[in-house]
């Protein structure tokens, strides 16, 4: 009888699709659809009012922001690894620690808005629409990169995103020129990501005034907590609405922090202590702050967010494998996409008797 009962139970169970334990837990949880959170009040300059000090986060948006910030974090850590393995060469400026800036900015604007930035561009490249695969392949100089392997860390582009720019501050006049070319039809927001250091110099030593949001003089400005994705989102909505309403340009300073040094050639601990970096990680990490908010407000469970972490790691690892194995662009394509009509010209190599001649 016991054997017959065991066999019957076995037949019943064999017809039931088994779900992973974490998925079963997620399905059984009683989630909140949204929750309200307080955000830090912005410092204002020549403004009578600023962004709201409370905001609502939906479960859907929270999960999206969490995945995007984790993806940027993992992508940058993988870039660090690829650089040390010499798959990535040249300049490489990482933005881990500043994920709330790129994700919050994208959450506060429209896909049709135009964006230009400086050399620390990987996070914005991703949030503007480039895939991890196309970013890492560009860093390793492969044909599958977003600029076909010829742009590198500071020159990546996608629709309505005009790249990082290697010259310090170049995005300012270039962005203004783009706005002029559009006959001033675009809202103009000047954003300063203040990570507290100018290369290896603390801002207090480099600037007579560290109130960068006031640097526009007659242009209004505000200073935002750049470690809070919700604060960045609401401030971005505010400044975008301000400009769209015809009130003119505005300056927004995002106070943030980078975990890596200025670039991969900078260890980042000769002018600041390891304890300082660890203290920021412990108290102000943007991913940790969002995770705590979501879990404590029942917008997500720890297990659900861990599942996202696993998926992100796999996506980044797959992209890294592609970036290491995809072929480099051939030599004959070296001069493509420099001129719109590709005229023939010569480029002298390191040896003046060796020249590269492009095809017309």
Note the pLDDT tens digit of each residue in 148-158: 999 999 999 99
Q: Which tens digits make up the pLDDT trace of 95-109?
A: 999 999 999 999 999
3-class DSSP assignment, residue 259: coil
Rounded Cα gap, residues 286 and 254, in angstroms: 13
- Tell me which residue of 128, 133, 108 sits closest to 117, measured CA to CA: 128
For residue 14, being part of any structural domain is answered with no
Query: Average model confidence (pLDDT) for the chain?
Result: 88
Residue span of the structural domain in which 264 resides: 34-351
246, 185 contact by CB (below 8 A)? no
Please indicate, yes or no, if residue 7 is contained in any of the structural domains: no
Mean pLDDT of 221-225: 98
* In-domain check, residue 5: no
Query: What does the block give as tokens for 283?
Result: 């108290």
Q: Is residue 229 part of a domain?
A: yes
Question: For residue 166, is it within any domain?
Answer: yes
Query: What pLDDT sits at residue 167?
Result: 83
Q: How many domains does the chain have?
A: 1
Sign of the torsion angle spanned by Cα atoms 334, 144, 99, 82: negative
Structure-block tokens of residue 32: 């909140």
CATH of the domain at 105: 3.40.50.970
Strand-pair partners of 161: 115, 158
> Which residues are bridge partners to 35 per DSSP?
57
Place of tokens 């403004």: 47
Please, which pLDDT band fits residue 17 given cuts at 50, 70 and 90? very low
> In the predicted model, what is the mean pLDDT of residues 335-354?
71
pLDDT tens-digit map of 232-281: 999 999 999 999 999 989 999 999 999 999 999 999 999 999 999 999 99
């Amino acid at each position: 009888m016991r054997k017959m009962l065991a066999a019957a139970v076995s037949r019943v169970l064999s017809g039931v699709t088994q779900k992973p334990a974490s998925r079963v837990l997620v399905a059984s949880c009683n989630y909140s659809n949204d929750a309200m959170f307080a955000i830090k009040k912005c410092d204002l300059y020549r403004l009578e009012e600023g962004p709201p000090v409370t905001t609502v986060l939906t479960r859907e948006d929270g999960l999206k922001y969490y995945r995007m910030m984790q993806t940027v974090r993992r992508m940058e850590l993988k870039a660090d690894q690829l650089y040390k393995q010499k798959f990535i060469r040249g300049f490489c400026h990482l933005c881990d620690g500043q994920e709330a800036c790129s994700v919050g900015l994208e959450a506060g604007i429209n896909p049709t808005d135009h964006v230009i930035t400086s050399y620390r561009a990987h996070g914005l490249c991703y949030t503007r629409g480039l895939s991890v695969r196309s970013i890492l392949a560009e860093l390793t100089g492969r044909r599958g990169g977003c600029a076909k392997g010829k742009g590198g860390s500071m020159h990546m582009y996608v629709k309505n995103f005009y790249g990082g720019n290697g010259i310090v501050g170049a995005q300012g006049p270039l962005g203004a020129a783009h706005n002029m070319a559009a006959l001033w039809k675009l809202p103009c927001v000047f954003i300063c990501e203040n990570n507290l250091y100018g290369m290896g110099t603390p801002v207090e030593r480099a600037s007579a005034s560290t109130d960068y949001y006031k640097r526009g003089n007659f242009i209004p400005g505000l200073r935002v907590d750049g470690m809070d994705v919700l604060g960045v989102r609401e401030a971005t909505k505010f400044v975008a609405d301000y400009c769209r309403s015809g009130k003119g340009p505005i300056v927004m300073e995002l106070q943030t922090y980078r975990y890596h040094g200025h670039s991969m050639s900078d260890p980042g601990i000769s002018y600041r202590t390891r304890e300082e970096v660890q203290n920021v990680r412990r108290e102000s990490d943007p991913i940790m702050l969002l995770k705590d908010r979501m879990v404590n407000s029942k917008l997500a469970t720890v297990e659900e967010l861990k599942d996202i972490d696993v998926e992100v790691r796999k996506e980044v690892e797959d992209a890294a494998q592609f970036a290491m194995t995809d072929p480099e662009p051939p030599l004959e394509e070296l001069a493509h996409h420099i001129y719109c009509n590709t005229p023939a010209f010569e480029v002298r190599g390191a040896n003046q008797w060796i020249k590269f001649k492009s095809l017309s």
